[in-house]
């Protein structure tokens, strides 16, 4: 089953065309790596999937992106709900200056959850899914900014998972982290694909080879190749 279908996607920043006729289908519960040189459009493409680009002045988008038979650029779409279904994790860990608990409970609260017992369950489940629970369960009231960089990034993953998205977008989620934290997050991504569809921008080919099922190469705004990772990385 497809999680997302992209058809003839063009994106312009003013006069500059940053994405050119992108066609791609992304299967549910896979890890897709987006790779290519700096400036080739990886982040721009990632951000079109939860409409993070379309409020930038001068941006024009043509083509269609379909989730569950619905065009996500349709005027009827509730962008807040779309962002709940399509979560995002950024390059630099960006926890809110609040407690660990409040960071994870943030999304569910925004969506109206007020029941303390249910919030407790969501916080525990999300922190477990992000492989952080054991490290923080005795200090949920502590400030998130006191955690290490790698822990902060896993907290940001937990915060994204707390609203039960279908798709998780990750924009170079390990490039600000040390090798041990990076390895932990790579391992975590492998586990998360049991439940989520993960689309990850990386400039690290080895990382793409280690963690992804499929790899998409971008060059100059075009999707030049997209295939099973093991096929792309095996020598002909
Ligand atoms: P990254 O290393 O994450 O790809 P970039 O330098 O491409 O970082 O972009 C950093 C920020 O600056 C992004 O929000 C991007 O949208 C914006 N940006 C990049 N290029 C331009 C540009 N030519 N004009 C305006 N904003 C830009
Ligand atoms: P990548 O993620 O592959 O490094 P980006 O998607 O950040 O590439 O950028 C693709 C192209 O679009 C680059 O030429 C970049 O300068 C340009 N760009 C990115 N963001 C903006 C923006 N907000 N305004 C204008 N140009 C942008």
Q: How far is CA 76 from CA 66, 70, 81, 205, in A?
A: 14, 10, 11, 39
Q: What pLDDT, on the 0 to 100 scale, is given for residue 209?
A: 95
pLDDT of residue 56: 93
- Measured between alpha carbons, how far is residue 228 from residues 35, 128, 208 in Å? 13, 30, 11
Distance 39 CA to ligand 2 centre (A): 6
**126 vs 1, higher pLDDT:** 126
What is the mean predicted confidence (pLDDT) over 79-106? Answer: 96
Determine the Cα–Cα distance for residues 28 and 3; give it in Å rounded to an integer. Answer: 5
pTM for this model (two decimals):
0.91
Q: Is the ipTM of this complex over 0.85?
A: no
User: Which amino acids bring their CB within 6 angstroms of ligand 2?
Assistant: 13, 16, 18, 36, 38-44, 56
pLDDT at residue number 236: 62
Q: Which of 10, 33, 44 to mutate to test the pocket of ligand 2 (most atoms within 8 A of CB)?
A: 44
Burial 136-151, CB ≥16 within 10 A → b, else e: beeebeeebeebeebb
Which comes out higher in pLDDT, residue 55 or 45?
45
Q: What's the pLDDT score for residue 233? A: 86
pLDDT in tens, 144-184: 999 999 999 999 999 999 999 999 999 999 999 999 999 99
């Amino acid at each position: 089953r497809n999680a997302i279908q992209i058809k003839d996607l063009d994106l312009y920043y003013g006069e500059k065309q940053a994405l050119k006729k992108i066609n791609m289908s992304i299967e549910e519960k896979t890890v897709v790596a987006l790779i290519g040189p700096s400036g080739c459009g990886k982040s721009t493409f990632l951000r079109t999937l939860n409409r993070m680009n379309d409020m930038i002045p001068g941006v024009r988008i043509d083509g269609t992106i379909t989730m569950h038979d619905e065009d996500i650029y349709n005027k009827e779409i509730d962008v807040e709900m779309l962002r709940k279904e399509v979560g995002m994790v950024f390059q630099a860990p960006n926890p809110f200056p609040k407690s660990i608990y409040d960071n994870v409970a943030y999304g569910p609260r925004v969506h109206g959850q007020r029941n303390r017992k249910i919030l407790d369950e969501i916080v525990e489940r999300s922190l477990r899914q992000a492989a952080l629970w054991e490290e923080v369960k005795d200090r949920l009231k502590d400030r998130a900014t006191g955690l290490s960089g790698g822990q902060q990034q896993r907290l940001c993953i937990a915060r994204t998972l707390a609203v039960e998205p279908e798709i998780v977008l990750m924009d170079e989620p390990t490039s600000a982290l040390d090798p041990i934290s990076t390895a932990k997050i790579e391992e975590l991504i492998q586990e998360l694909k049991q439940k989520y569809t993960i689309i990850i921008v990386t400039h690290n080919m080895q990382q793409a080879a280690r963690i992804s099922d499929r790899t998409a190469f971008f060059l100059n705004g075009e999707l030049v190749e997209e295939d099973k990772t093991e096929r792309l990385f095996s020598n002909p």
